[in-house]
Chain A
């Protein structure tokens, strides 16, 4: 069983479109995250939810909106996609006691 699963794995779309990326974890973790990895492999946190409550909201355009229907799911919706949004987006989850994260395999978003 995949611990943290993201869909889709690849997403190619045109500028101006709206798209969503879904994430689910079956580890029973309380906290979930979205990270963006740019072309130079730099990882930057975007959002974090703990038990469905938003706890980290870094400086990202408000075109990006996370939604957590329950603590096992954290989806990322992006409006009006721009070329600069092209990147790999990683979902992750953690439990306070272990302190480490478990990552999904990533969604490669390409905006054309």
Chain B
């Protein structure tokens, strides 16, 4: 079955530091890949997505590139802010007909300190 593995947290960074959160996946075919963000006390929001190999998703300064050769979709940001403190989830959705289920990684909590 499909699975997502992301780096364990928590991750604590100083403001303006570089962020990488690793994510690798196992899936058959050509899944779509996502990063979701959950701010404290809120629901999940789609941060970015990529639907095919070599696609780069980007939003709010965050980027992730769909690497089929390494089955990875690492999240990066060049300069984090305190407001980026949240839990980040990597997720995938299968490519077959009727592939409705979104499979999530366990989440990585990011804390950015001033």
Q: Which residues of A contact B (CB under 8 A)?
A: 31, 33, 40-43, 45, 48, 50, 55-56, 90, 92, 94, 99-106
Contacts and interface: CB of A to CB of B under 8 A. Distances in A.
A101 B101 contact: no
A41 B43 contact: no
Contacts, number: 53
Interface of B: 32, 34, 36, 38, 42-46, 49, 51, 87, 89, 93, 98, 100-102, 104, 106-107, 109
B49 A99 contact: yes
A41 B49 contact: no
Contact of A100 (B34, B38, B104, B109): B34
A53 B91 CA distance: 24
B106 A90 contact: no
